[in-house]
Amino acid sequence: MIENRFKTALAAGDRQIGLWVAAGDPYVASLIGHAGFDWLVIDGEHGPNDLRSILAQLQALESSPSAVVVRPPMGEAWMIKQLLDIGAETLLVPMVETAEQAAELVRAVRYPPVGKRGVGAGIARASRFSTVRNYVQQANENVCLLVQAESRKAMDNLSAIASTEGVDGVFIGPSDLGADMGVTDGIADTQFQRLIERGIETIQASGKPAGILTFNEALNHRYLELGATFVAVGADIALFTSALADLRGRYPVTSKK
């Protein structure tokens, strides 16, 4: 079985710089896979993805040195089972608000008797179609579960969520957290930023790596200084949008009238 190197790197506290992959396209994923990021998130929550498009992107990223993280739309056991069977090894589950919810997710990613993952990988890509010996025995150790804290309730329960055995890292979602708190400009809001900083510290104090995504370079450096381990610093769509606007803007529209 191939070791989940991303899980190992997180556990060792090795800084991981990531990128969101939300285009929902294997060709774009393949291109990004050679850009040198430590980790990539195939976004099934907000990207136009389904099981087959995620599969196609996992295949497209097979030769990429970047670790691949898959984000399901939500933390449903049946979705998790399907994603693990097509070969996702690291999951980032959105909207986790309590330690109980985190513990259920830990069970969802593991085979019985410790968990409740259905046993079908023998006919699936996860076991390289049964060519990985003892897949079922090794899978529980290999899987990496990251959970997202992105509401006031989650921030209140952060220490308990992070301390849950089997949770490999906690990622703060600033967009959803800001929305839940009624914060309109989270980047400029010092109280909101203090909450995030305290969150990063709480996660680390629980012995787990902290993660986050922002498109703001200064904030990303700040979070890294605070010790955040897995920091996503941009998204494919946002990069395309700004590059396109920049290019178009260099050729001002002139009226012929």
Which active-site residues does the annotation give? 46
3-class DSSP state of 178: helix
Residue 236 engages ligand LXDSK4UY in binding (rule: CB under 6 A): no
Residue 201 engages ligand LXDSK4UY in binding (rule: CB under 6 A): no
Q: Which is nearer to ligand LXDSK4UY, 14 or 176 (CB)?
A: 176
Q: How far is the CB of 114 from ligand LXDSK4UY (least distance, A)?
A: 28
Reduced 3-state DSSP string for 96-165: CCCHHHHHHHHHHCCCCCCCCCCCCHHHCHHHCCCCCCCHHHHHHHHCEEEEEECCHHHHHCHHHHHHCC
Look at the alpha carbons of 148, 153, 159, 160 in this order and tell me if their dihedral is positive or negative: negative
3-class DSSP state of 34: coil
- Nearest residue to ligand LXDSK4UY by CB is 173
Q: How far is the CB of 136 from ligand LXDSK4UY (least distance, A)?
A: 32
Q: How far is the CB of 210 from ligand LXDSK4UY (least distance, A)?
A: 14
Q: How far is the CB of 164 from ligand LXDSK4UY (least distance, A)?
A: 19
Q: Which is nearer to ligand LXDSK4UY, 20 or 39 (CB)?
A: 20
The total of other beta-carbon atoms located within 10 Å of residue 159's CB is 14
3-class DSSP state of 93: strand
Contacts (CB under 6 A) with ligand LXDSK4UY, residues 54-73: none
Residue 173 engages ligand LXDSK4UY in binding (rule: CB under 6 A): yes
Q: Which residues contact 135 (CB under 8 A, 6 or more apart)?
A: 1, 121, 122, 126, 127, 128
Contacts (CB under 6 A) with ligand LXDSK4UY, residues 71-110: 94
Interface residues with ligand LXDSK4UY (CB under 6 A)?
A: 20, 46, 94, 148, 150, 173-176, 213, 235
